[in-house]
Chains A and B, each alone.
Chain A
Amino acid sequence: MKSRVREIWTLAEASGDGINPVSYEVLARGVELKAKLDEIAEAKVVAVLLARSLDDDAVRTLVHYGADEVLYVRDERLADFLVQNTASILTDLAGERKPEIFLAAATTYGRTIMPYVSVRLNAGLTADCTVLDIEPESGLLLQTRPAIGGNILATIKTESARPQMATVRPHSTRVLPPDVSRAGLVTQILPDDRHFRSRVKFIRFESTSDDEMPISEARKVVSGGRGIGKAENMALVHELAEALDAGVGASREAVDRGWISYPHQVGLSGKTVTPDLYLALGISGSIQHLAGMQTAEHIVAINSDPDAQIFKVADMGIVGNLFDVVPVLIEKIRRARRADSQECRTA
C-alpha cells in the first residue's frame, strides 16, 4: 500500500504587490526538512498563501524558492488581516489536506494566526524556533527555540497531534537561491463566503513616526544605550547609522528616558533582531537587552566599561569613550565607502 506523501506547509505572507521575503526563509526551512524527512517517508513542500489578487509571476516565486506546490487562496477580502477569517480558511484547508508539518515566520502575522489555528486543529505549536530538525527514527519534528529571555534553549516535540506547527524566527535562515526553471503546481482556491464572518474592520495603515528604517527588517542596526547620556547625543547614533545605511535601535534605558520611541527598542520587552551587524554604543548588555540581539551575525560594541556584559557577545569590542571613538569611526567609514564607490566607477 502506497504511503501518503507528507505535506510540509509553509505559510507565505503577501507584502504590497508581491510576496514578503520572509516567506522564502520559511520555504528554505521546509526544503531542509523535506530532505531530512525523505529518508523516512516521501514529502513535499507546499506554500500556502492567503492574499488578494497578485500577479502570477509574484506567486510563482514561491516555487522558485522551493515550493513543490502552492495553495493560493485568493480573495480581495484577504487584503487585510482579519484573524478569524484567515483562521477559518486555514482550519478547513488543513483539515482537508492534513499536513504533517506547518511552519510560518514568527512575524506579527505568524505569531497571531498560528496559535489561533493551533487551537482549532488541536495541534501543538512552538514559537520562534531557531533550529528545526527531523528526529532520525521517528521522523518527528524537533523544534528548538530560546526561552527565559534567551538564557536557555529548549527542544520540543509534538508526539501525536498533527500538524506539527512551529513559527520560525525571521532573519535566522539563509534563503535558497531562486531557481526560475523549477516546476511546481500553483492551485488557486476561491474561498467560500462563510469564511468571512469577522466583524472587525481594518481602518488604515500608519507608518512609524519617523522616516527611518524599521529595525526588524534592517540588515544593520546601530543601537544606543544609557552611555549616550542625553537626548541630544542620540544624534551621534543616528549619524553612525546613516553612515552605514543602518537602522537605529536602542536599549530600554534610552527608550524609557524618552531619547527615542518604543518601536526602536531592542530587548526582552522590545524587538528581537537578527541583523548581519549589530553595533552597540554605550550599552552595558543586560540579559534583557541581549535577549533581543545576541543572535546577530556580527556584533561590535563600544563601551567605556571593560567589564560590560556586552563584550561577552561581541565579535569586536572597543573599550573607550564613545564620544571620542564614534566621530572618528564615522569619518573613516565615509572615506572607505567613498573609496569603494570610486573603485567601482573606474573599473
Chain B
Amino acid sequence: MHIVVPIKQVPETSEVTMDEESGTMIRAGVESIINPLDLYAIEQAILLKEQFGGSVTLLSMGPKSAIEAIREAIAMGCDRGYLLSDRKFAGADTWATAYVLANAIRRMDCVDLIICGERATDGDTGQVGPGIASFLDLPVLTYVSGLEVDGDAIVVRRLVENGYEVYRAPLPVVVTVVKEIAYPRLPTLRGKQRARGMEIPLWDNALLGLDEQCLGLAGSPTRVKRIFRPKVSREGEMLVVRSEDDLEAAADRVVAYLDEKNLL
C-alpha cells in the first residue's frame, strides 16, 4: 500500500501573540511543531504499513524550516518525504494550498490512500483535505475515527454530530482523521538517526511547473484583511467558598442565576 500523508508545520498555539497595532501575528521565537492533529494521520498510516506492507510518503508545503516536521514524522516510522517550498507558494489560502499539494501527489506513483489530519491548529479550517480530493477527483471521507482495509477498499467510521456513519470506499481515496483513530507513537532513537541522514528532496515551482496564477497569495481567492483579538474575557461574578455558609450562599446564587437566565 502506498500512503501519502500531507503534514503542516504550525506555531505552538499557546505561544503565538499578536501585535495589536499592526494586526499581525508575531511568529518570531515561537516554537514550530508538527500540526498536532497530523500526528494521528501519521500514526494511522504507519499502522497500515505495519499491517499490510507498503510505504508512507510525507509531503509538506511550507518554508524551508518545515523540513524539520518531515524529519520528525520520518523518525516516527515513515519512509520518505518531500518538501514543497518556493517563495511563490507563500501566503496561500486553502484553495492554493490544496492546489499545490494535489499536484505534487499527482507526480507520485500508485497512491492508494491519502490521510490528512482533521485540520491545522493555526488556520483551523479543515478545508485542505477535501480540497486535495476535489483537485484529484477522488472521494473524501472526513472525521474518520476508525479505518479498516477490506481488499482494495477501506471501511471507515465517520464521527458526525449525533453518532457514527460507516462507509465503504474503493481505493484510492482521501480521508481526514480525528484523534480517536489511533494514539501517536513517539519517534525512536533509530528513527531519528535515520531521519537525520535521509535526503528530503525539495520541490519548488521550477520543478513542479505549476500555473503561477494559482500559487500563493496571488492564487488565493480569499485574502485576510484584518486580524484582531477577540474580547473573550468576561467580568464574571466570583464567589469564594470557605465555610458551610459560603457554600449554601454560593449554591443559592448559582441557582438564582440559572433561573434568571432560563437555564433551569
B-binding residues in A (CB < 8 A): 81-84, 87, 107-109, 111-120, 122-128, 142-143, 145-161, 198-208, 214, 216-217, 220, 244, 262-263, 265, 268-270, 276-277, 286-288, 290, 294, 298-300, 306, 311-321, 324-325, 328-329, 332-333, 336-337, 340
B94 touches A125 (CB 8 A): yes
B166 touches A203 (CB 8 A): yes
Contact A148-B16, Cβ < 8 Å, known A314-B234, A333-B264: yes
Other-chain residue from B121, B169, B251, B264 in contact with A200 (beta carbon distance below 8 A): B169
B113 in contact (CB, < 8 A): no
Q: Which residues of A contact B95 (CB under 8 A)?
A: 118-119, 122-125
B142 touches A112 (CB 8 A): yes
B134 touches A311 (CB 8 A): no
Main secondary structure of the interface of A (DSSP, over half): mixed
Residue of B at shortest CB range from A15?
B162
14 A/B residue pairs, CB under 8 Å, sorted by A: A83-B139, A119-B95, A124-B222, A126-B125, A127-B127, A151-B18, A157-B223, A205-B164, A262-B178, A287-B14, A312-B233, A316-B253, A318-B250, A319-B241
Residue of A at shortest CB range from B127?
A115
B234 touches A153 (CB 8 A): no
A111 touches B161 (CB 8 A): no
A-binding residues in B (CB < 8 A): 11, 13-14, 16, 18, 25, 36-37, 93-95, 98-99, 121-131, 133-135, 137, 139-143, 145, 155, 157-170, 173, 178-180, 220-230, 232-234, 236-242, 246-248, 250-255, 257-259, 261, 263-264
CB distance from B64 to the nearest CB of A (A): 22
A151 touches B13 (CB 8 A): yes
Q: Which residues of B contact A120 (CB under 8 A)?
A: 134
Q: Which residues of A contact B168 (CB under 8 A)?
A: 200-201, 203
Most buried by A among B18, B124, B131, B143: B124
Q: Which residues of A contact B169 (CB under 8 A)?
A: 199-201
Other-chain residue from A117, A125, A142, A198 in contact with B139 (beta carbon distance below 8 A): A198
CB distance from B228 to the nearest CB of A (A): 6
Q: Which residues of A contact B264 (CB under 8 A)?
A: 244, 333, 336-337, 340
Most buried by A among B162, B163, B180, B228: B162
Most buried by A among B11, B95, B237: B95
Other-chain residue from A147, A148, A205, A294 in contact with B232 (beta carbon distance below 8 A): A294
CB distance from B24 to the nearest CB of A (A): 10
Question: How long is the Cα–Cα vector from A69 to B126 in the complex, in angstroms?
Answer: 30
Other-chain residue from A115, A123, A217 in contact with B221 (beta carbon distance below 8 A): A123
Q: Which 7 pairs of residues, A with B, have the shortest CB-CB distance? A: A320-B241, A124-B221, A161-B221, A124-B222, A119-B134, A115-B127, A127-B125
Residue of B at shortest CB range from A287?
B14
B167 touches A201 (CB 8 A): yes
Q: Which residues of A contact B129 (CB under 8 A)?
A: 115
Other-chain residue from A145, A316, A324 in contact with B241 (beta carbon distance below 8 A): A324
